A and B are shown apart, each in its own frame.
Chain A
Amino acid sequence: MNQVQPNSEESPTREAKVSRSPAEWVTFGVASVILATVVGLVLYVWLGQQDQQPPTLSVSHDKATRQVDRQFYVPFTLVHQGGKTVESVRVIAELRINNVEETAEEEINFLASGETAEGAFIFSHPPQDGELSIRVASYKLP
């Protein structure tokens, strides 16, 4: 975003650098450490085996169901234990009570390796009275 027009004329007071002052050397030293750290971390991620592994996604629903009015909230946690980052992860929940089936769906935009995402499915029947299954349905690679 160019909110400022560049000034085409160089400042007349800018003199040529003769030699670097101690202060400039200190700045350069600190800057080099920062840049080297970032590059080193990228190399670490690159060389680490985790990056080569395919995605592994698992979903759990250990937390207690919550009831508000006549709706039942079933919290879930999605964990990415594999390697590559994934996009558009779809989690599907199906609840069967007698012959009635309710489904709920959630899409997580983005999940990198080691990340977790939390959310909740909402049903109109009490999940404890039926058979509830929650699974990861799909993802795509960016």
Chain B
Amino acid sequence: MPVRSHHNLWLREIKDLIRGISGGFLFGIPLLYTMEVWWVGSAAEPLRLLSAIALTFTIIVLLNQTSGFRGTADVRFSDACMDSTEEIALGILCSTCILVLLREITLDTSLKEALGKLIYESIPFALGVALANQLLGGQQDEAQSQSNPQPQRKNRLNSTLADLGAAFIGAIVVAFSIAPTDEVPMLATAVSGPWLLALIAASLLISYTIVFAADFSNQKKRHQQQGIFQDPFSETVIAYLISLFAAVFMLLLFDKLGFSDPWSTWLRYTLILGLPATVGGAAGRLAI
């Protein structure tokens, strides 16, 4: 018995961490595609960086009183402080991974610049982690989904279309705000070859985690979806393809891609904008 409860505690902790990371990505990814944040971070003096960490910590301690990323609520101030430390650390980890993936932090980047970039970019991530429970709730629809058994065959097509539509709209909303900016062409010059493959893998992993592993609301319902492509893996892949389509659509709309551009430019721009679009698509699927 003790072994089993010990095992459960670890499982619950991992679930909490995954929920926190997902919240961080939902909130933080769109802000990662803002070059001014990279520049301000690069040039920021150490005192300003320390102030940024202190300010974020203060805000997050307050957020932890109502939200947080754990399944349990923080009643004591010391717990809120400890959770805040974890949220900032998760924010730093996630933003570092994405900045490395987007080649904004490389082995050639100076220590000061790398620190500035990752600290400034970790702020929205840490806020997202702290808002994880608030962003899309957690587990509350269990009773609701039990009282509403999933309709069988006749709604399969409808629910598939609803999911695909939600993924498309979510992806459009996020891609719309990033496509007209210069960040996509700028990142495209730095990201190539194996990094593009890593970007595809990261997009799929983040999308799957947010929708199927983070224990946000609707997750049970999502696992039980009866639509055509709706086992978790194929739904993740289809939603990714739809998000890429939304990204292409937005890039064409804002004239960032033209038919005279080489196919490699199309591929790079689409995959780079595809990452935030996929996160938007995941949020869209959870929202319905």
Instruction: Enumerate chain A interface residues (CB-CB to B < 8 A).
Output: 1, 3-7, 9-18, 20-24, 26-28, 30-32, 34-35, 38-39, 41-46, 51, 85, 87, 109-110, 112-116, 142
Contacts and interface: CB of A to CB of B under 8 A. Distances in A.
Contact of B113 (A18, A42, A115): A115
Top 5 closest A-B pairs, CB basis?
A1-B30, A46-B46, A31-B89, A23-B13, A142-B43
A24 B66 contact: no
B283 A114 contact: no
A45 B112 contact: yes
A41 B115 contact: yes
B140 A13 contact: yes
B31 A45 contact: no
A17 B72 contact: yes
Contacts of B74: 17
B133 interface: yes
A53 to B, nearest CB: 12
B82 interface: yes
Nearest to B138: A11
B75 to A, nearest CB: 5
A80 to B, nearest CB: 9
A112 B50 contact: no
Given A16-B73, A85-B43, A31 B280 contact: no
A112 B5 CA distance: 51
A30 B73 contact: no
Given A6-B134, A7-B137, 15 more contacts: A1-B31, A10-B73, A12-B140, A13-B71, A13-B139, A15-B72, A16-B72, A24-B13, A27-B17, A35-B88, A38-B119, A43-B50, A45-B46, A113-B112, A115-B109
A45 B114 CA distance: 11
B268 interface: no
7 contacts: A3-B174, A14-B72, A20-B79, A22-B9, A85-B112, A112-B43, A112-B110
Contact of B108 (A13, A41, A115): A115
Interface string B40-55: 0011011101100100
B75 A5 contact: no
Nearest to B26: A4
A87 B140 contact: no
A46 B135 contact: no
B43 A51 contact: no
B217 interface: yes
Contacts of B9: 21-23
A17 B79 contact: yes
A44 B46 CA distance: 9
B98 interface: no
B253 to A, nearest CB: 18
Interface string B116-143: 0011000000000001011111111010
Contacts of A5: 287
Nearest to B173: A3
B112 A4 contact: no
A34 B92 contact: yes
B183 interface: no
Contacts of B284: 3
A3 B140 contact: no
Contacts of B109: 112, 115
Interface in B132-179: 133-140, 142, 170, 173-174, 177
Contacts of B131: 6
A30 B87 CA distance: 12
Interface in B69-87: 70-76, 79, 82, 85-86
B53 A85 contact: no
Contacts of B177: 1
B233 interface: no
B248 to A, nearest CB: 19
A12 to B, nearest CB: 6
